[in-house]
A and B are shown apart, each in its own frame.
Chain A
């Protein structure tokens, strides 16, 4: 057994223990903390699997933003949780354990007995890289070869935000989401919220820009931008905008809107829906991505702040 394998086993064991802890621990708050740790450390596995694009996404969206989303919910539910002591019966537990281990065993054996010549689309993707003149194969797949998926995923984000907003109470409709945080000028949090976002915004744009040729892209960059925005909100330096603002709604549809327009343009002038002319492919993709990173940052940030809770004046 080589030292690399030992390391991989250690890594898998560490993340697995975190996963077990997340499921088994009594308090919900602790479980969310465990989930954040789990989500961040799973990124290490993705790096080991040589999928850095996914590692970035997993660390930023699943571990970082997703974890904080769960954490906020857990903090709010904390008092309600005390009454929730109803545990499932032993029969349920045993049969659930049985079902879960069967599922896990089936999946594990499926992985162990995969066919010897693995199917792969990597050569095809590499062979068509000329069509976009971007060097990152994952960006090529996301933005060109399977652009339809990416566009529809933007629509899913939009639907999610509509769904979240529509849960607002009647008197808060069109108002500001989340609680108002008061800025205390002597608080070190305010200091950090002034110092970190400029650096974070540069880092987010860097991750986005490098996505053309190296791992990175609009999702990962957008998640970093969203976290920096939320940091200033949490420090009380800015407030969340009322959701009825026209500019906000424009930002939210800019990404999928431009994507759709370019796609229809491909149908009109070119061969098919979302077909880019090779000469214009790179500027078109970059344009869509610039609109997308704004949309993604705004949508992720607003999804984290939740439904509107205060009317505009408050």
Chain B
């Protein structure tokens, strides 16, 4: 059981890494905004499994923190991305 769950964490982590590579390479800035979202799901799954494997009950609380902070980071991505888009539109008149 433990071996299976450890393998599952490893697998999900590998998926997370591949997804991150794809997102971070992504052509647009909107692609990068998904990074925190990806970690918010796959990272939580890995953490929950890890807590069960390593008999670390506190890992569930870390997952809870992840869920909240990853959401916060995603919102910040979107907000900053939007403001930089707007700055691009009206940049020439306002900047200097």
Q: Which residues of A contact B (CB under 8 A)?
A: 3-4, 6-7, 10-11, 14, 17-18, 21, 25, 29-30, 33-34, 36-37, 40-41, 43-44, 47-48, 50, 52-53, 55-56, 59-60, 63-65, 67-68, 71-72, 74-75, 78-79, 179, 181, 189, 192, 196, 200, 203, 206-207, 210, 214-216, 220, 223-224, 227-228, 230-231, 234
Contacts and interface: CB of A to CB of B under 8 A. Distances in A.
Contacts of B79: 181, 189, 234
Given A17-B17, A47-B50, A60 B73 contact: no
B71 interface: yes
B57 A214 contact: yes
Contacts of B36: 36-37, 40
Nearest to B78: A189
Chain A residues touching B, majority SS: helix
Interface of B: 3, 6-7, 9-10, 13-14, 16-17, 20-21, 24, 29, 32, 35-36, 39, 43, 46-47, 50-51, 54, 56-59, 61-62, 64-66, 68-73, 75-81, 83-84, 87, 91, 95
B80 to A, nearest CB: 4
List of 8 A-B pairs having minimum Cβ-Cβ separation, nearest first: A64-B69, A52-B58, A75-B80, A215-B58, A227-B72, A14-B17, A7-B10, A68-B76
Contacts of B10: 3, 6-7, 10-11
6 contacts: A47-B51, A53-B58, A55-B58, A59-B69, A63-B73, A207-B61
Given A52-B56, A71-B80, A43 B62 contact: yes
Contact of A3 (B3, B17, B46): B3
Contacts of A234: 75-76, 79
B39 to A, nearest CB: 5
Given A33-B24, A64-B73, A78-B84, A40 B43 contact: yes
Contacts of B87: 78-79
Given A7-B10, A215-B58, A215-B61, A230 B39 contact: no
